[in-house]
Structure 1
Amino acid sequence: MVRSGFVESVHFGSAVGLAPDGTTVVARGRVGAPVLPRSSAKPFQALGCLLSGADLHGPRLAIAAGSHTGEDFHVRLVAEMLGEAGLGFDALGCPVDWPEDEATRHGLIRNGLPASRERMNCSGKHAAMLTASVASGWAVDSYLDAAHPVQRRIQAVVEELSGEKTAHVAIDGCGAPLFGLSLTGLARAVQGLVRAEPGSAPRAVADAMREYPEYVGGTGHVNTSLMRALPGALAKGGAEGVLVVALATGHAAAVKVIDGSPRATTAIALAVLRAAGGDVAAAAGFTTVPVLGGGLPVGEIHVLEEK
């Protein structure tokens, strides 16, 4: 991060880029070491729910794979998903939270309304896990247990797409089990979604996310904006500096910033995709991040590529 010609901060991390045939063509850092994918795993969790019988399609599948910003249209869809399964918001196991969308959050506060589970960015994923459990006749109250059938199905999906055995089982911030894998395995998994056969369940997840990016994030969300700027791209960020991006051509990238900051991850992923041979010209506006001083540009965050 450069401010007024002065290097103020530097982010270190690991990044991997895959060619459409799955060959690793870019590798920086410890790409074979385990990482926790955080919300970058949501597309695979959505796939596990779909394969478990959840009625997921279109926006429903996108919000199941997304980290929504808690806007009213997100909450309405979550309510619809739960209602058709005979459930209400009280079934959600995710924590109470304020919506990430600033306008929505301020509106709730002005009207004296509280934070809630349905406004939490993971409520779409949790609704999908619950509806999958209802569809398959599994217990609902224990759906977040790592030994629950829906979580076992998700773990199997992650292992199949990544080609790796689970390196570590953790609990994500929303309370759901999280299955660790290498950064290369994470890139391979997201590539598997965009390269899957049309009409298949993995491809359905990728197609829903790309067709309905507003349900993957929301107003002003960087993942949503990137997918709109780069047609055919799938982008999904996760907490602690994780991001996966896959292009329609099959090029894929996975990024992990060691200090956990997400502010440079999109620029890094695009640099990796470009180095791997992907066409990211339409996303030129995302390759740097402006640094402001007094509301005016005084520098930028850019990617320093090793020679």
Structure 2
Amino acid sequence: MILAEVVRSGFVESVHHGSVVVLDAAGLVVAAAGEVAAPMFPRSSNKPFQTVGMLRAGLRTADPADLALISGSHFGEPFHVARVREILGAAGLDEGALRCPESLPLSENERDIVLRDGRGPERILMNCSGKHAGMLATCVANGWSLDDYRNAKHPLQVAIAAAVTDLVGEPIAATGIDGCGAPVFGFSLTALARGFQRLVQAPPQSYERLVADTMRADPELVAGTGEDDTRLMRGVPGLLAKGGAEGVVAVAIEDVGAVALKIEDGAMRARMPVLMSALRRLGVAAPILDDLATVPVLGGGVRIGEVRTAW
């Protein structure tokens, strides 16, 4: 299904295929396109569910805002890195315990600073280091082994898989290895949307609602300053958002509905225009929807086209 098109100098240069599902406040599918019942890997959109699994397994944080970072894909800004160190320190660990790959920050500005300082990729700079710090803290709380915490058969990952299955309401179709080396669980786009809806509609004192509330209260910890997830949660009151690699994003708003989408070729630039179209189908109205409805296409540094929804 064609979801977005790339227009350059007035001509449709290319298109992006994909799948999208829109649920109403009752969890019913009100709009859909593509393969919304087939298994897919939500990539980092899994993270809020994984955090719930950690909480159910005994994770406790000194600051509730830590859960936003654990559930996020941070951009390596100083406040991100400092908070990862704090999570590890509270568990009696340091960044040497992390088993995510070494990486440069996702933020171009922070990446330039790291390189100008003569440094290189580090595990703590990797966008998933918050999640890994949370996983390690959960292991410490339970007395579980640390070196192999990424293994799908580790007690931590077994507990997380059980929580994910519960939250999305369907069995995990496949377990893969994510870019950070931790397990990633496959299920349908519809299940992804319903899982996000469950987070925002859960009782106030539940772990599900705690994760949703902390992410919405500190969206800069979920992504970074000025990034898509951050802007969405700042721009639409009550909206929970978490993107994932390869063109995935999921959002939900209590008493409104939920959306999950996947761009088939993994193009990240096509996500927001399609998502804005989906949110409008739910009656959501806010200036940020206009801001994110198109993505500029540049020629010689000048805007000569755009990526826009075709759905």
Structure 1-normalised TM-score?
0.96
Counterpart CA distance in 1 for 2:283 and 2:254 is 10
Counterpart CA distance in 1 for 2:277 and 2:224 is 24
CA positional deviation for 1:127 = 0.3
1:37 aligned to 2:42? yes
Q: What residue number does 2:99 align with?
A: 93
Q: CA RMSD in A?
A: 1.2
> 1:166-204: per-residue Cα shift (whole Å, max 9, x none)?
100100010001110011001111111011111111000
CA gap of 1:286–1:136, structure 2 versus 1, over 3 A, is same
CA positional deviation for 1:293 = 2.2
CA positional deviation for 1:114 = 2.0
Moved more, 230-239 or 283-292: 283-292
1:210-229 maps to which residues of 2 (within 5 A)?
210-229=216-235
Counterpart CA distance in 1 for 2:203 and 2:283 is 20
Residue among 72, 94, 97 paired with 2:78: 72
Contact 2:25 2:254 in 1 (8 A): no
Q: What residue number does 1:8 align with?
A: 13
Contact 1:16 1:187 in 2 (8 A): yes
Counterpart CA distance in 1 for 2:124 and 2:163 is 26
Counterpart CA distance in 2 for 1:282 and 1:153 is 40
Q: Please state whether the residue corresponding to 1:10 is helix, strand or coil.
A: strand
1:196-211 maps to which residues of 2 (within 5 A)?
196-211=202-217
1:17 aligned to 2:9? no
Q: What residue number does 2:236 align with?
A: 230
Structure 2-normalised TM-score?
0.95
| Structure 2 residues not aligned, in runs of 5+ | 1-5
Counterpart CA distance in 1 for 2:64 and 2:308 is 35
Contact 2:197 2:254 in 1 (8 A): no
Contact 1:191 1:250 in 2 (8 A): no
Residue among 32, 35, 47 paired with 1:27: 32
Contact 1:13 1:29 in 2 (8 A): yes
**Aligned partner of 1:16: which letter?**
V
Q: How many matched pairs?
A: 304
Counterpart CA distance in 1 for 2:307 and 2:275 is 14
CA positional deviation for 1:272 = 1.5
1:273 aligned to 2:279? yes
Counterpart CA distance in 2 for 1:51 and 1:266 is 32
Contact 2:74 2:128 in 1 (8 A): yes
Residue among 88, 110, 119 paired with 1:113: 119
Identity of aligned residues (%): 52
> 1:125-160: per-residue Cα shift (whole Å, max 9, x none)?
000000011011111111111111211111111111
Residue among 35, 49, 55 paired with 1:50: 55
1:164-203 maps to which residues of 2 (within 5 A)?
164-203=170-209
Counterpart CA distance in 1 for 2:56 and 2:221 is 20
Residue among 132, 137, 145 paired with 2:138: 132
| Structure 1 residues not aligned, in runs of 5+ | none
> 1:264-294: per-residue Cα shift (whole Å, max 9, x none)?
112212212222x241433221111122223
Greater than 6 Å deviation, 4+ residue runs: none
Q: Please state whether the residue corresponding to 1:144 is helix, strand or coil.
A: coil
